[in-house]
Homo-oligomer: A and B are copies of this chain.
C-alpha cells in the first residue's frame, strides 16, 4: 500500500523548488525562492563598513531580517510597522537566518563590509524560514561576487554552502520531509534542520508542542532532514551555475 500526502508527494519528497536569481534590479544579490506555494523574496544589500561595535576589527558582518507581507497568509495579519512593534516570531526567525549564514562566513576574508539579507515572505505555505535560508545563501553568493568584482575582499569569505528544510511526524507517526502549512499545523513534532553543503549541522531546532519525542524518533527526523538538505544543496548549485 502506498502512502500519499495531501499534495500527492511521497513522505521523503521535497515540494517543487524554484530559485530565480536576479529577480531585482538594484540589489547586489537577489533571489525569488519558492518551495511549492511558499514564495520568499531575498535581497542582499552590500555596504562598505560594519556596525560601530565592530569597526576597526578588520572583520566583516552578515545579518538578516525576515518579515511577512500582511496577506502572505490565508487570512490577513496586521502589519508589524502599524502595530509599532516587531513580533517575537519575526525576531526569532530573523536571528536564525542570520546565524545560519554567518556559520559559513570567514569574517576576515569578507573585510570590513556588511551584507544584509532581507527575506520578505510574499506567500506562506509552511517552511518559510527554511526557504528563506536556502534562498538567502544564493543571494549571499551573488553579493560576495559583487564585492569580489570591486576588489573589496581579503580572501574567500564563503567556507561552505547552507541549506535548510523542515521535517516532522504526522499524526500516524510517519516522518515527512518539507512540510506544507496544513501538514505543519497537524504535526506533533517539528524539526528545522540547517546544514552545510558538506553535510554538517549548523542549527537543529526540534519542538514538540504536542508529544515529546524519543532519541530514536529524533534520529529518523535527522536522517530525513540530512537527505533533504543534500537535495537542496544540489538545487542551489544548479541555480548558481
Give chain A's interface residues, CB within 8 Å of chain B.
24-27, 30, 37, 41, 43, 45, 47, 65, 67, 69-76, 79-82, 84-92, 94-95, 99, 102-104, 116, 118, 120, 122-123, 125, 160, 191, 195-196, 198-210, 212-215, 218, 222, 226
Contacts and interface: CB of A to CB of B under 8 A. Distances in A.
B203 A207 contact: yes
B71 A122 contact: no
A86 B86 CA distance: 9
User: Lowest 3 CB-CB distances: which A-B pairs, in order?
Assistant: A88-B91, A200-B212, A43-B71
A57 to B, nearest CB: 16
Give the most central of A85, A99, A191: most B CB within 10 Å.
A85
Nearest to A162: B212
Contacts of A118: 69-71, 76
The A interface, classified by DSSP as helix, strand, loop or mixed, is mixed
A205 B99 CA distance: 13
Contact of A92 (B47, B92, B208, B209): B92
A65 B41 contact: no
Contacts of A71: 24, 26-27, 30, 43, 45, 118
Nearest to A28: B71
A103 B43 contact: no
A83 to B, nearest CB: 8
10 contacts: A26-B74, A26-B123, A41-B122, A65-B82, A67-B79, A70-B118, A87-B91, A92-B92, A103-B210, A199-B214
